[in-house]
Structures are given as C-alpha cells and as structure tokens.
Amino acid sequence: MEVARRHLAQNGYDGMSLTAIAEEAGTTRQALYRRWPTKADLATAAVAAMSRTAERSPTGDPYADLVRELDAFRRGIGRPDGVSMVGTMLLRSTDPELVTFYRERIVAPRRAALHEILERARKQGLLAADADIDAALGMFTGSWYARSLQGVSPLPRWAERTAAVIWRGLGGTPPPGGAGPAPTTATTVEETRAGCHC
C-alpha cells in the first residue's frame, strides 16, 4: 500500500503504473491483480487505508469529536493537489469505477462519521430537536471547497471555526471560545505523500 500511495501522489491516477508499483514492491502485476482486480480498486484502497475514521472512537464530547473529525479532513484535503483529486471525481471523463470506489471508501465513511457525531449531540440535547443534520453535512466540507474555488487560503483554525458556526446553526452552543481540542498542525510525511482524505 505504501508504494501504491507514493506512486499515486507523485504521478496522479492517470500516471499511476501497476507495473512500476509491482516492481518497486518486489512482486508482480498478477499478484496485485489477484488482490485488487482493477487500477481503480488499488488506487482508492491505497487512499482509504490512510483514513483513520475507524480509529477515532467517540468520546463523551460530541463537539470535540466534531472538531477532531474536521481537522482530520483538513489534514487530508490540505495536501498538495488534494482538492484537484476531488475535482477529478466530478469530471465526466473520470473512470466510473474510480468514482464509485472513491465515494464508497472515502466520502461515505467521512459523511457517516459526521452524521453519527451530530445525531449523538442531538440525542444528548446539545442540538435542537429539529436540527437539519442532512443539510449541515454538506456545509462542513463545502466551506473548504468554496474557498478553494475562490482561490483564497483556508481559514486559520478552519476546523474549530467551521464547527462553531454550524453547531450554532443547528441550535447548539459551542463551548467557551468555541475551541474544542487544538487542531493538529503537523501532517505526517506519509499522509502528505499519500494524499490522505482522512
């Protein structure tokens, strides 16, 4: 997986070569195809393997969990060419299988994690009973993409500020300072090279 992630980050999906990956990994193309039948399968599996969504266990503080989840997204999408990969998924010319795998392995788990956090907060009475959670889900990551399209830099403390604004919109009151846990400022070398959309 590490070799596949590195090739994907360096060459992009179109330039990603299973032959080159197999050679560097000390295996064969046939061996790769036995486990990942297609290039799209391997590419999205490599990116999805970097996601730590499953490792971020819920705590007793839904707001802190929300900030943590958004900061994980920030670290993944903020890598070089992170947003451009997302844009590739919207092109009609993009391999449909790649789009399907990307949605199933990367987009859906993140959306599910955010949905679980907000539902938990609503059940605890931290958000309004009629909070429109479905509408809020698109606003989280959408706020990042909007600034990218404008050609402006991400907001400082984006995860915390975005969480606070949407939390209020859902009828909640952020903790004093709206801070939650301090954002992770350091992105690991592995995440940067691999293009983690955590």
- State the CATH number of the domain containing residue 122: 1.10.357.10
Residue 43: CB atoms within 10 Å:
25
User: Are 163 and 188 part of one and the same domain?
Assistant: yes
User: Are 2 and 83 part of one and the same domain?
Assistant: no
User: Are 149 and 185 part of one and the same domain?
Assistant: yes
- Among 36-40, 60-64, 144-148, 176-180, the range scoring the smallest mean pLDDT is 176-180
Query: Last residue of a domain, which of 25, 49, 73?
Result: 49
- Two tokens, residue 14: 């179109």
Amino acid at 174: P
User: Are 62 and 117 part of one and the same domain?
Assistant: yes
Domain count, the chain: 2
Q: Which pLDDT does position 96 carry in this prediction?
A: 87
Q: Which pLDDT does position 196 carry in this prediction?
A: 46
Is the model's pLDDT at 143 over the cut of 70?
yes
Per-residue pLDDT tens over the stretch 29-68: 899 989 999 888 888 887 777 666 556 778 889 999 999 9
Is-contact 190 2, C-beta < 8 A?
yes
Whose tokens are 């980050």? That residue is 9
Query: Last residue of a domain, which of 27, 49, 71?
Result: 49
Is the model's pLDDT at 116 over the cut of 80?
yes
User: Are 156 and 100 part of one and the same domain?
Assistant: yes
User: Are 146 and 64 part of one and the same domain?
Assistant: yes
**What's the average model confidence in pLDDT over 115-126?**
97
Instruction: Look at residues 68, 38, 42, 63 and name the one whose alpha carbon lies nearest to residue 53.
Output: 68
To which H or E segment does residue 100 belong?
A: helix 96-102
User: Are 45 and 74 part of one and the same domain?
Assistant: no
User: Are 155 and 184 part of one and the same domain?
Assistant: yes
Per-residue pLDDT tens over the stretch 85-111: 666 666 777 788 888 888 888 889 889
Higher pLDDT, 5 or 175: 175
User: Are 21 and 83 part of one and the same domain?
Assistant: no
User: Are 177 and 129 part of one and the same domain?
Assistant: yes
User: Are 96 and 24 part of one and the same domain?
Assistant: no
The domain of 159 spans: 57-194
Q: How far apart are CA 40 and CA 96, in angstroms?
A: 9
User: Are 142 and 67 part of one and the same domain?
Assistant: yes
Q: Which pLDDT does position 113 carry in this prediction?
A: 93
Is the model's pLDDT at 77 over the cut of 90?
no
- Residues 6+ positions from 153 with CB-CB distance below 8 Å: 147
